[in-house]
Amino acid sequence: MSTPTVEIKITSMYPPGQQGGIRAYASATIDGCFAVRGIKVVEGGRDGLFVSMPSRKTTDGYKEVCFPVTAEFREQLHNAVMDAYQQAITMAQAPPAQQETQEGGAPQEGPQEAAGGETPQEGQQMAGM
């Protein structure tokens, strides 16, 4: 059985309010008709960064509130969130002049260097989203 292609649009990417394992919060719209808020990009585990779906605490630990049912869709959603996260990190680290040329699609000149390690504040959307 083949999984149909589903359009996933990451509508926002925000840095977390406190440090810890959470690197960003994301929101996604699936096929233009279902929105999911509270997706987390978390650092940890055996593979480094991973995507965590919204969850609630129960007496048995944490249970996902909504989640991909198939492995294929889980991978598709994971890839969309991680691609948006990497794009947001790249945009946040680029100097302002280079951000303008990246957004305009013009070729960039000079080396790309991190701009003083500035990170967006809590509640502020990361660049590129």
pLDDT tens readout for residues 92-109 = 887 776 555 555 554 444
63, two tokens: 């249970």
Is the per-residue pLDDT at 124 higher than 60? no
Query: Beta strand 34-43 with 55-58: parallel, antiparallel or unpaired?
Result: unpaired
Alpha-carbon radius of gyration of the chain: 16
- Domain span holding position 52: 8-56+64-93
Residue 126 within a domain: no
pLDDT for residue 75: 95
Residue 111 within a domain: no
Which contacts (CB < 8 Å, 24+ apart) does range 35-40 have? Answer: 35/11, 36/66, 38/65, 39/81
Is the per-residue pLDDT at 123 higher than 90? no
Residue 115 within a domain: no
Per-residue pLDDT band for 90 (boundaries 50, 70, 90) equals confident
Is the per-residue pLDDT at 9 higher than 80? yes
Q: Please state whether the predicted TM-score (pTM) of the whole model is above 0.75.
A: no
